Protein backbone atom coordinates (compact mmCIF):
# COMPACT_ATOMS: atom_id res chain seq x y z
CA UNK A 1 0.00 0.00 0.00
CA UNK A 2 1.90 3.08 -1.22
CA UNK A 3 0.20 5.51 1.21
CA UNK A 4 1.18 3.39 4.18
CA UNK A 5 4.78 3.16 3.01
CA UNK A 6 4.98 6.94 2.47
CA UNK A 7 3.55 7.62 5.91
CA UNK A 8 6.06 5.27 7.47
CA UNK A 9 8.97 7.11 5.90
CA UNK A 10 7.60 10.49 7.00
CA UNK A 11 6.95 9.13 10.45
CA UNK A 12 10.49 7.84 10.81
CA UNK A 13 12.00 11.05 9.48
CA UNK A 14 10.04 13.30 11.82
CA UNK A 15 10.61 11.08 14.85
CA UNK A 16 14.33 10.87 14.15
CA UNK A 17 14.37 14.68 13.75
CA UNK A 18 12.62 15.30 17.04
CA UNK A 19 14.88 12.83 18.78
CA UNK A 20 18.01 14.64 17.62
CA UNK A 21 16.44 18.01 18.36
CA UNK A 22 15.42 16.77 21.79
CA UNK A 23 18.94 15.62 22.58
CA UNK A 24 20.48 18.94 21.59
CA UNK A 25 17.76 20.95 23.32
CA UNK A 26 18.17 18.90 26.48
CA UNK A 27 21.73 20.14 26.64
CA UNK A 28 20.97 23.76 25.77
CA UNK A 29 17.65 24.52 27.45
CA UNK A 30 16.57 24.26 31.08
CA UNK A 31 14.53 21.13 31.86
CA UNK A 32 10.75 21.33 31.58
CA UNK A 33 7.87 19.78 33.54
CA UNK A 34 6.89 16.54 31.75
CA UNK A 35 3.24 17.57 31.97
CA UNK A 36 2.87 21.36 31.50
CA UNK A 37 6.34 22.34 30.20
CA UNK A 38 6.97 24.80 33.06
CA UNK A 39 10.63 25.08 34.00
CA UNK A 40 11.90 22.58 36.60
CA UNK A 41 15.31 22.05 38.17
CA UNK A 42 15.75 18.38 37.16
CA UNK A 43 14.73 16.78 33.85
CA UNK A 44 11.97 14.14 33.79
CA UNK A 45 10.00 15.62 36.67
CA UNK A 46 6.76 17.42 37.42
CA UNK A 47 6.73 21.09 38.41
CA UNK A 48 5.49 21.97 41.89
CA UNK A 49 2.00 22.86 40.63
CA UNK A 50 1.51 19.59 38.72
CA UNK A 51 3.01 17.61 41.62
CA UNK A 52 0.42 19.04 44.00
CA UNK A 53 -2.39 18.31 41.53
CA UNK A 54 -1.29 14.74 40.87
CA UNK A 55 -3.74 12.35 42.62
CA UNK A 56 -0.97 10.24 44.20
CA UNK A 57 -2.16 7.31 46.33
CA UNK A 58 -0.59 7.32 49.79
CA UNK A 59 -0.88 5.02 52.80
CA UNK A 60 -3.10 3.67 54.20
CA UNK A 61 -4.23 1.41 51.35
CA UNK A 62 -6.12 -1.90 51.00
CA UNK A 63 -3.51 -4.70 51.30
CA UNK A 64 -4.90 -6.48 48.22
CA UNK A 65 -6.27 -3.82 45.85
CA UNK A 66 -4.00 -0.94 46.90
CA UNK A 67 -6.96 1.43 46.94
CA UNK A 68 -6.78 4.31 49.41
CA UNK A 69 -8.58 4.30 52.75
CA UNK A 70 -9.88 7.52 54.21
CA UNK A 71 -8.65 6.42 57.64
CA UNK A 72 -6.00 3.96 58.81
CA UNK A 73 -7.44 0.55 59.74
CA UNK A 74 -4.06 -0.96 60.54
CA UNK A 75 -1.46 -3.11 58.80
CA UNK A 76 -2.96 -5.57 56.27
CA UNK A 77 -6.38 -3.91 56.31
CA UNK A 78 -8.73 -4.98 53.53
CA UNK A 79 -11.30 -2.96 51.62
CA UNK A 80 -14.90 -4.14 51.31
CA UNK A 81 -14.15 -5.11 47.71
CA UNK A 82 -11.18 -7.28 48.75
CA UNK A 83 -13.37 -9.08 51.28
CA UNK A 84 -16.35 -9.68 49.01
CA UNK A 85 -14.53 -9.99 45.67
CA UNK A 86 -10.92 -11.05 46.39
CA UNK A 87 -8.64 -10.76 43.33
CA UNK A 88 -6.93 -13.74 41.71
CA UNK A 89 -3.62 -11.86 41.84
CA UNK A 90 -1.95 -11.33 45.22
CA UNK A 91 -1.59 -7.54 45.41
CA UNK A 92 -2.16 -4.51 43.26
CA UNK A 93 -0.40 -1.19 43.67
CA UNK A 94 -0.81 2.01 41.66
CA UNK A 95 0.85 5.41 41.63
CA UNK A 96 -2.32 7.46 41.38
CA UNK A 97 -6.06 7.39 40.92
CA UNK A 98 -7.14 7.67 37.28
CA UNK A 99 -8.20 11.31 37.16
CA UNK A 100 -6.81 14.77 36.47
CA UNK A 101 -3.11 14.87 35.61
CA UNK A 102 -2.69 11.10 36.10
CA UNK A 103 -5.32 10.50 33.41
CA UNK A 104 -3.70 13.11 31.14
CA UNK A 105 -0.32 11.35 31.44
CA UNK A 106 -1.80 7.89 30.71
CA UNK A 107 -3.59 9.19 27.60
CA UNK A 108 -0.55 11.17 26.40
CA UNK A 109 1.71 8.12 26.72
CA UNK A 110 -0.76 5.88 24.91
CA UNK A 111 -2.23 8.10 22.19
CA UNK A 112 0.04 11.15 21.77
CA UNK A 113 3.18 9.06 21.45
CA UNK A 114 4.79 10.80 24.41
CA UNK A 115 6.96 7.74 24.96
CA UNK A 116 9.36 9.89 27.02
CA UNK A 117 6.69 9.84 29.75
CA UNK A 118 7.43 6.16 30.39
CA UNK A 119 10.65 7.24 32.18
CA UNK A 120 9.13 9.33 35.00
CA UNK A 121 5.95 7.22 35.15
CA UNK A 122 8.01 4.01 35.41
CA UNK A 123 10.17 5.49 38.18
CA UNK A 124 7.10 6.49 40.19
CA UNK A 125 5.71 2.98 39.67
CA UNK A 126 8.86 1.42 41.18
CA UNK A 127 8.33 3.58 44.25
CA UNK A 128 4.61 2.74 44.50
CA UNK A 129 5.27 -0.98 43.95
CA UNK A 130 8.45 -1.40 45.99
CA UNK A 131 6.88 -3.97 48.34
CA UNK A 132 5.95 -6.13 45.32
CA UNK A 133 9.52 -6.37 44.02
CA UNK A 134 12.05 -9.04 45.07
CA UNK A 135 15.39 -9.92 43.40
CA UNK A 136 13.91 -12.90 41.48
CA UNK A 137 10.75 -11.09 40.31
CA UNK A 138 10.04 -11.20 36.56
CA UNK A 139 8.38 -8.07 35.19
CA UNK A 140 5.87 -8.59 32.36
CA UNK A 141 3.74 -6.08 30.51
CA UNK A 142 0.12 -6.75 29.58
CA UNK A 143 0.59 -7.50 25.87
CA UNK A 144 -1.10 -5.88 22.90
CA UNK A 145 -2.37 -7.99 20.04
CA UNK A 146 0.11 -7.89 17.16
CA UNK A 147 -2.35 -6.05 14.90
CA UNK A 148 -2.89 -3.34 17.50
CA UNK A 149 0.86 -3.16 18.02
CA UNK A 150 1.23 -2.58 14.28
CA UNK A 151 -1.33 0.25 14.45
CA UNK A 152 0.09 1.95 17.53
CA UNK A 153 3.71 0.93 16.87
CA UNK A 154 4.52 0.48 20.54
CA UNK A 155 3.07 -1.06 23.69
CA UNK A 156 2.94 1.60 26.40
CA UNK A 157 2.85 -1.08 29.11
CA UNK A 158 6.05 -2.64 27.72
CA UNK A 159 7.72 0.80 27.83
CA UNK A 160 6.74 1.11 31.50
CA UNK A 161 7.85 -2.46 32.28
CA UNK A 162 11.27 -1.84 30.71
CA UNK A 163 11.86 1.23 32.91
CA UNK A 164 10.64 -0.60 36.03
CA UNK A 165 12.93 -3.61 35.41
CA UNK A 166 15.92 -1.35 34.78
CA UNK A 167 15.30 0.86 37.82
CA UNK A 168 14.71 -2.14 40.12
CA UNK A 169 17.51 -4.24 38.54
CA UNK A 170 15.24 -7.24 37.94
CA UNK A 171 14.41 -9.41 34.90
CA UNK A 172 11.71 -8.47 32.45
CA UNK A 173 10.14 -10.43 29.65
CA UNK A 174 8.03 -8.55 27.10
CA UNK A 175 7.52 -11.58 24.84
CA UNK A 176 6.46 -14.52 27.00
CA UNK A 177 2.84 -13.52 27.49
CA UNK A 178 0.90 -12.85 24.29
CA UNK A 179 -2.60 -12.10 23.12
CA UNK A 180 -3.97 -15.20 21.45
CA UNK A 181 -6.81 -13.29 19.83
CA UNK A 182 -7.84 -9.74 19.25
CA UNK A 183 -10.35 -8.41 21.77
CA UNK A 184 -12.83 -5.53 21.62
CA UNK A 185 -11.82 -2.32 23.38
CA UNK A 186 -12.91 -2.68 27.00
CA UNK A 187 -14.23 0.89 27.12
CA UNK A 188 -18.02 0.91 27.30
CA UNK A 189 -18.35 -2.71 28.44
CA UNK A 190 -19.68 -3.61 31.87
CA UNK A 191 -17.81 -5.91 34.24
CA UNK A 192 -19.27 -9.22 33.02
CA UNK A 193 -18.88 -8.18 29.36
CA UNK A 194 -15.25 -7.31 30.03
CA UNK A 195 -14.58 -10.69 31.63
CA UNK A 196 -16.17 -12.44 28.66
CA UNK A 197 -14.23 -10.26 26.21
CA UNK A 198 -10.81 -11.26 27.60
CA UNK A 199 -11.57 -14.89 28.50
CA UNK A 200 -9.01 -17.08 26.78
CA UNK A 201 -7.44 -13.99 25.16
CA UNK A 202 -3.97 -14.57 26.60
CA UNK A 203 -1.47 -17.41 26.36
CA UNK A 204 2.22 -18.08 26.86
CA UNK A 205 4.46 -18.53 23.87
CA UNK A 206 5.03 -22.23 23.34
CA UNK A 207 8.19 -23.71 24.77
CA UNK A 208 8.96 -20.70 26.98
CA UNK A 209 6.89 -21.46 30.06
CA UNK A 210 9.78 -23.14 31.95
CA UNK A 211 11.37 -19.73 32.50
CA UNK A 212 8.45 -18.84 34.73
CA UNK A 213 8.26 -21.86 36.98
CA UNK A 214 8.41 -20.97 40.68
CA UNK A 215 9.11 -17.30 40.08
CA UNK A 216 7.09 -14.31 41.27
CA UNK A 217 5.66 -12.23 38.43
CA UNK A 218 4.97 -8.52 38.46
CA UNK A 219 2.39 -7.75 35.80
CA UNK A 220 2.53 -4.17 34.52
CA UNK A 221 -0.19 -2.10 32.86
CA UNK A 222 -0.79 1.62 32.44
CA UNK A 223 -4.25 1.76 33.98
CA UNK A 224 -6.58 -0.63 35.75
CA UNK A 225 -10.33 -0.22 35.45
CA UNK A 226 -12.32 -3.35 36.41
CA UNK A 227 -9.26 -5.61 36.50
CA UNK A 228 -10.63 -8.19 34.05
CA UNK A 229 -7.57 -7.96 31.76
CA UNK A 230 -4.98 -8.51 34.51
CA UNK A 231 -7.17 -11.27 35.99
CA UNK A 232 -7.17 -13.11 32.65
CA UNK A 233 -3.37 -12.72 32.47
CA UNK A 234 -2.98 -13.90 36.08
CA UNK A 235 -4.86 -17.14 35.31
CA UNK A 236 -2.41 -17.95 32.50
CA UNK A 237 0.69 -17.05 34.53
CA UNK A 238 -0.39 -19.10 37.55
CA UNK A 239 -1.28 -22.09 35.37
CA UNK A 240 2.27 -21.86 33.98
CA UNK A 241 3.74 -22.16 37.48
CA UNK A 242 4.39 -18.58 38.57
CA UNK A 243 4.76 -18.66 42.35
CA UNK A 244 2.74 -15.45 42.70
CA UNK A 245 1.35 -12.68 40.52
CA UNK A 246 1.27 -9.07 41.68
CA UNK A 247 0.04 -6.19 39.56
CA UNK A 248 1.55 -2.72 39.25
CA UNK A 249 -0.28 -0.03 37.28
CA UNK A 250 0.36 3.66 36.91
CA UNK A 251 -3.26 4.52 37.63
CA UNK A 252 -6.33 2.84 39.05
CA UNK A 253 -9.88 3.88 38.26
CA UNK A 254 -12.03 4.39 41.34
CA UNK A 255 -15.69 5.34 41.62
CA UNK A 256 -17.37 6.26 38.33
CA UNK A 257 -14.10 5.97 36.37
CA UNK A 258 -14.00 2.24 37.19
CA UNK A 259 -16.77 1.74 34.65
CA UNK A 260 -15.44 4.19 32.09
Helix (H) or strand (E) holding 191: helix 191-198
> How far is 217 from 131, CA to CA, in rounded Å?
13
Does position 50 interact with Zn ion (CB under 5 A)? The reply is yes
What is the closest distance, in whole angstroms, from the C-beta atom of residue 37 to Zn ion in the complex? Answer: 7
What is the closest distance, in whole angstroms, from the C-beta atom of residue 33 to Zn ion in the complex? Answer: 3
Does position 132 interact with Zn ion (CB under 5 A)? The reply is no
Does position 230 interact with Zn ion (CB under 5 A)? The reply is no
Count of positions on this chain that bind Zn ion (CB under 5 A): 6
Q: Which is nearer to Zn ion, 47 or 232 (CB)?
A: 47
Q: Which is nearer to Zn ion, 30 or 214 (CB)?
A: 30
What is the closest distance, in whole angstroms, from the C-beta atom of residue 47 to Zn ion in the complex? Answer: 3
Contacts of 147 (CB under 8 A, 6+ apart): 182
What is the closest distance, in whole angstroms, from the C-beta atom of residue 97 to Zn ion in the complex? Answer: 18
> How far is 134 from 103, CA to CA, in rounded Å?
29
> How far is 146 from 84, CA to CA, in rounded Å?
36
Q: Which is nearer to Zn ion, 36 or 258 (CB)?
A: 36
What is the closest distance, in whole angstroms, from the C-beta atom of residue 46 to Zn ion in the complex? Answer: 5
The number of CA neighbours under 13 Å toward the Cβ of 158 is 14
What is the closest distance, in whole angstroms, from the C-beta atom of residue 254 to Zn ion in the complex? Answer: 23
> How far is 220 from 92, CA to CA, in rounded Å?
10
> How far is 26 from 115, CA to CA, in rounded Å?
16
Residue 61 · residue 215 · CB < 8 Å: no
Does position 63 interact with Zn ion (CB under 5 A)? The reply is no
Angle of CA points 85, 96, 63, to nearest 5°: 40
Binding mask 29-48 for Zn ion (x = CB under 5 A): ----x-xx-x--------x-
Q: Which residues bind Zn ion (CB under 5 A)?
A: 33, 35-36, 38, 47, 50
Amino acid sequence: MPGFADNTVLERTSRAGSLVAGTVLDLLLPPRCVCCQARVSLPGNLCGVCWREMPFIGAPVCARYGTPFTHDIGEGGLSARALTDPPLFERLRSVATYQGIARDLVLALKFNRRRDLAEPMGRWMVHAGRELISPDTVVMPVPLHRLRLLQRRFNQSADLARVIAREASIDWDPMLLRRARRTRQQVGLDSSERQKNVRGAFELRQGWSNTLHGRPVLLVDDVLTTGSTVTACTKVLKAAGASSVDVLTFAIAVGDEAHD
